[in-house]
Structure 1
């Protein structure tokens, strides 16, 4: 049992139904009632959630008008009966619409709904039968059958013969002067010509009608009477043939009634889902969650029938609590809160989204309600007898799987007895673990709720400064009726108000003072909470602005670094070309002192240019992004970031995964790869491809050891060694090639012979290696 009328359930369904494209969908939605079957509800909400996600991802489902074809399909089962062309067109449009939806949805888009669509068999025989008989203009095709085609041909031929004869009357000099208008007219499905009334009898024929003024007579000449009769006969035969065609199409429709009704059901379901989605979007709804525990949790719940500035309802009732007592002033929002709770539970159990930020609820077998005080949206005052009658039905029918909602518990009679009866009813329901929410003004009910472990209190907030309710529901704090404050605000004499206090007992005044203080404290806390919330929102916006600006700066930094790296690459390329040209000149000029001096001057100039560029761009001390820099390798010169802010120069001694061992003078340190950057100045030779030094060890100690190297590798190293020796202005060098197969020895001798700046070469004395 669900008391739908008490919560304006059907009014809300009407709001959602306005989003449907067809009346059949509206009716289906209006007939929806709450269910306690979790499986069906899970499937409904899965379809809604998937369609919502699909639409957010760009899906644009469009439904045109859906026709309620179920009565037509039932008529189609009657033998020798036939549907009209228009009615057959409705069935065809539904089939086409279903085909469009089937293409639109897929397993990836609204998979649950697609599984339902996929199960439907489209009766193609119906489509083929309709298409062969009915054209796009929703008329029977001229060639629907050979017989119909022949009848249409004969009709056209007969009409042409009549029109030819009639044309003769219109254009003949003898008869033309008798005719009013030079055109052929049809009266009662027969061809006639309009003649002037004073020439009646001049043309033999039958007068079928005359004009309103009597000036024109409509004459059927005897010469075309037989043809007119033939047309009437052919038209009758055509009507019979069309009737046969429509009976055949209708019979096919009747034989496929199940599939056609299934198509209609799925189209209506899609229409209902899309209507719910629009309601969900317009009212900022959430999809309810169901719990196995007997609980109701509402956050930010907004009654959809209330307009403008709706104060959201936050409500919690969960184990071990099975009862909530809502208190507060009249017109403060108690009844609206109660109705919101009941309405949302029934909407949730009917498969509808609810206008709230969050909702968790138990699946109740029934919802009982007794609502009808002066704060009701549509009902008038309830009498005490009516109140008790409703309570009796609730007590007899409710169990622990029911939800009970009672407005103004115990009202309508003596306050003492009414409060006592209300307390007893509440105790009865709670002791049987029946979830119950009530509103009341009675202090005895409030006190009982405060002392019970199974009941919690709530109140609608009241602002004592303005003597007006804020309509906010506050859990855990009892409320006051604020009758004296409201009376004073409405202008009741002070004398009467003072006298009123004399009739209130000391105990009641004490309780009232406590409740008043609690209400004042809660109001202050609410304001503080609102202030903190607004401040948090401002901080959130500032953080978002900061993150946006930071990302812009980082992007600018990445752009600048990329530009610097491009400039640096071009610079290195230029340095490499200048070094190569210097070495080539030395080779070509035979290593003369002048060419060596020019080369050394060029190298010093390159070094100065490099330092000048580095200082202008600050690239020598700016670490490269890990993702952008070339991979480090053993022997590379690097800069190590120290804990003291300075950077230590060194050379990579060993690399082990993310750990790098660097030799810095006499000190060897192992650090994370993230703390190491390439030393661009020292590694210049790796960028240029030229191995040169301008200072270092004694020129007399120049030695090249190529033992153990492959032929090509050894040749390249030897060439670089000779170029470096020239740039250093070295007089004597040593080359160690080993004995081995003699291949390296031969390569060394051949290279030295062809080198223009080598004066002579010879083997070392035996004690220094001899032929090796």
Structure 2
């Protein structure tokens, strides 16, 4: 079942759209399918076709896919099935079709939306390659078609050369100089001959094969060349037989695989049709229409597909809220273009084609029927009005909520008031049935009907209020006004005539037209203001986005700087701790250091990372803790309620409780009189002169090595032995780079063969 009848498709100029699809196809069968393209009503099939078109478009848009030309192979495969031998050009055409189908399958088979299209495909690679290797594009059977043919043709070439040489020697012989007409070797009846003068026929022992038109020249085969010519002819017969054998063999193969060849060409034709639609979509900057279950048509900035760059974008919508749209305005203003675009968009969408618009929603329709233009029949003596009435009857018959009606100049062709009344009655019937319709009119009564009736809306084509030239844009919600009087004045009609005509209008109609003119002027001013405000909004939005980008860039740079500063500060603190060694640090010096660090953090904009809640509710002297802000381990010396005095090596620091986390079991509490000595003892207990990090990644090994060196410093262990293994050498090299940057390391080296070679690094610390 088709969506639209032939008269509707003709009224919408769908044939011109279809011809563009035809022109974009490259296979004979694909072209046939394009010529038969009509909109169906199976909504799921339409959705599937839209997905397929989009899938192929992704290939076409990338310029890496193009359907190869192919003729219709069905007559050839049928002939081969009947046992007929195909001519070389026909076999070549079959081979080209096989290759084209294979190329198309390679390009699209991975797309899920095309799986049904390629399901019937099966590779005929050997047959296709065999034909293309044996027969060239001109339909000539090549020497490589078979080993025997190659040998025969080489022998034939040699035999022909021998025959030419034999005749050439006769042409240059003084014995036959007087008899020779021209010193050329030519061919007659497939045999090499020479031209001699007719009067010397008896002087040259030969066989006559032809004469010139004048009879003065004989083309003869000298008996001396008879054997050579016989050899040539024998080889030519062998060549013909071998070529015939090759063609028969290929024809049998084509007949055997006829069904699969046809299936592959069918797949190719479907892809060809999809590619043609996709190519038009790319060329026309089209979009995939949104297919909805409701009965609606919503077009945002749609462009008539046949107008190309001349098309002015138009927007319109018919749905449950606005079932009928009444378009009015002056002639040549774009009303008919808008109506045809609306109908074409539905028809094209239902043919699986994409649409030139910013956004399109197309609902589920069972029927589209259009009445556009004059349809007179001189044979049936039917007037324009009668033709419109007949079409109106067809529209009303069976119209329902799944019908889209498009009528140009509804109620036209008869006395205006009667035509308007008939049009209103027709629209009321369509409203009762829930039908969607887009109609055009000049009638004031219809404009008033649209204004006063729920679910009906006015629309008008815009025009320049100064020049009265149409802009071809559509204003939904505003009825169009007549420009008869302004245009008459502009065209030079006498002002008194125009004034008299104006006075003849009824008061109600005159007031209506005046109100429309005022409304049109105000609408134009509002559009200009809206355009200006929209431009300002875009400019402001762009400036806001730029400021946000600048702010984000500055924030990113600040964080990057703060991170680097934090890293340097922590490294400096670690170096400071190591350099203090066994020096005695007073409480006042510790407080001064805390204040200095806090001031540096504030100046650099470094906020301390949120501290994880301490796992301990209380701390005791001797507890091993980590100072979070410094990433440094230490031992609690004293608990001062909200702050802790922590020993870091032989330095003591006053830190907030929230900045401390316990990292080990509570150690035996040291005597308050010797906290530094106790800390060294704890470090000595933890420290070892050897650390094995084999099997670890660098990110895992580096913090272990750092802590190991810190403990060794506190315990006074040096030298140290770091075991990292050989492996790829990356772990060892990475750790040595770390050691090179560590200010506590005096020197390091790989071990000797006895010490472990490159799998071990020996380290000496500064004392």
Could you state the TM-score of these two structures normalised by the residue count of structure 2? 0.72
Q: Deviations over 1:447-468 (max 9, x none)?
A: 2223322422222234433333
Deviation at 1:632, TM superposition (A): 7.4
Question: Which structure would you say has the larger Rg?
Answer: 1
Q: Distance in 2 between matches of 1:282 and 1:545?
A: 34
Show the counterpart of 2:651. Answer: 692
* Per-residue deviation, 1:498: 2.4
Alignment of 1:191-590 (within 5 A): 191-194=192-195, 201-208=202-209, 218-229=219-230, 231-232=232-233, 234-236=235-237, 238-372=239-373, 383-396=384-397, 398-550=399-551, 552-553=553-554, 556-557=557-558, 560=561, 564=565
Change (3 A) 1:203 1:516: same
Instruction: Select 2:95's aligned residue among 82, 92, 97.
Output: 92
Deviation at 1:221, TM superposition (A): 0.7
- Separation in structure 2 between the aligned mates of residue 275 and residue 536 of structure 1, nearest angstrom: 41
**Residue aligning to 1:12:** 17
Q: Structure 1 residues 163 and 434 mapped into 2: Cα distance closer, same or farther (>3 Å)?
A: same
Q: Which residue of 2 aligns with 1:622?
A: 604
Deviation at 1:169, TM superposition (A): 2.8
Per-residue deviation, residues 437-490 of structure 1 (Å, max 9, x unmatched): 211111222222233224222222344333333322222232222322332332
Q: 2:71 pairs with 61, 67, 70, which one?
A: 67
Q: Distance in 1 between matches of 2:181 and 2:567?
A: 96
Q: Could you tell which deviates more after superposition, 124-133 or 181-190?
A: 124-133
CA deviation digits over 1:623-650, x for unaligned, max 9? 4599xx89979699xxxxxxxxxxxxxx
- Alpha-carbon distance, 1:382 to partner: 7.8
Q: CA deviation at 1:46?
A: 1.0
The answer to whether the 8 Å contact 2:303/2:341 transfers is yes
What secondary structure does 1:4 align onto? helix
Q: In the alignment, does 2:54 pair up with 1:49?
A: yes
Query: Partner of 2:743 in structure 1?
Result: none
Say yes or no: does 1:83 pair with 2:86: yes
What's the offset of the Cα at 1:172? 5.2
Cα root mean square deviation, aligned? 4.6
Distance 1:274 1:132 in 2: 28
Shift in CA distance, 635/624, structure 1 to aligned 2, threshold 3 Å:
farther
Q: CA deviation at 1:193?
A: 3.4
Please give the alpha-carbon distance, in whole angstroms, between the structure 2 residues aligned to 1:333 and 1:720: 90
Distance 1:706 1:178, change over 3 A: same
CA contact (8 A) 2:284 2:308 kept: no
TM-superposed deviation, 1:530: 1.9
Corresponding residue for residue 104 of structure 2? 101
Given that 1:634 and 1:653 are in contact with CA atoms closer than 8 Å, whether structure 2 keeps it comes out as no
Q: In 2, are the aligned partners of 1:329 and 1:482 still within 8 Å (CA)?
A: yes
User: Under a length normalisation based on structure 1, what TM-score does the superposition of the two structures give?
Assistant: 0.72
CA–CA distance in structure 1, aligned partners of residues 613 and 397 of structure 2? 87
CA separation of 1:168 and 1:390: change in aligned 2, threshold 3 A: same
The counterpart of 2:35, out of the listed 20, 30, 35, is 30
**Secondary structure in structure 1 of the residue aligned to 2:604:** coil
Alpha carbons 2:281, 2:355 under 8 Å: kept: yes
Q: CA deviation at 1:366?
A: 2.4
| Aligned-partner Cα distance in 1 for 2:602–2:433 | 81
Structure 1 pair 544–25 and aligned structure 2 pair: CA distance change class (3 A) = farther
CA drift of 1:278 comes to 2.7
What is the CA distance between 1:529 and its match in structure 2?
Answer: 2.4
Hey, what does 1:589 align to over in structure 2?
A: none
For residue 767 of structure 1, what is the aligned residue in structure 2?
none
TM-aligned CA distance change 1:520 to 1:234, over 3 Å: same
Distance (whole Å) between structure 1 residues aligned to residue 682 and residue 572 of structure 2: 33
Asked if the contact 2:53/2:353 (under 8 Å) is kept, the reply is no
Residues in 2 aligned to 1:11 and 1:531: alpha-carbon distance in whole angstroms: 39
Q: Is the 8 A contact 1:407 1:438 kept in 2?
A: yes
Aligned to 2:686: 713
Contact in 2 for aligned 1:330/1:481 (Cα 8 Å): no
String of CA shifts for 1:534-565, please: whole Å, max 9, x gaps: 22332343344445544554565566556656
Q: Matches of 1:342 and 1:242 in 2, distance apart?
A: 58
What SS does structure 2 have at the residue aligned with 1:492?
Answer: coil
Deviations 1:222-256 (CA, angstroms, capped at 9, x unpaired):
12235434544553454344334323322332332
**Aligned partners of 2:159, 2:464: CA distance in 1, in Å?**
92
Superposed CA offset, 1:54-97 (max 9, x none): 667x6822333233323333333333x22221221121122222
What is the alpha-carbon distance in structure 2 between the residues aligned to residue 470 and residue 308 of structure 1? 15
Distance 2:95 2:11 in 1: 43
Return 151-160 or 336-345, whichever deviates more: 151-160
Q: Deviations over 1:748-767 (max 9, x none)?
A: xxxxxxxxxxxxxxxxxxxx
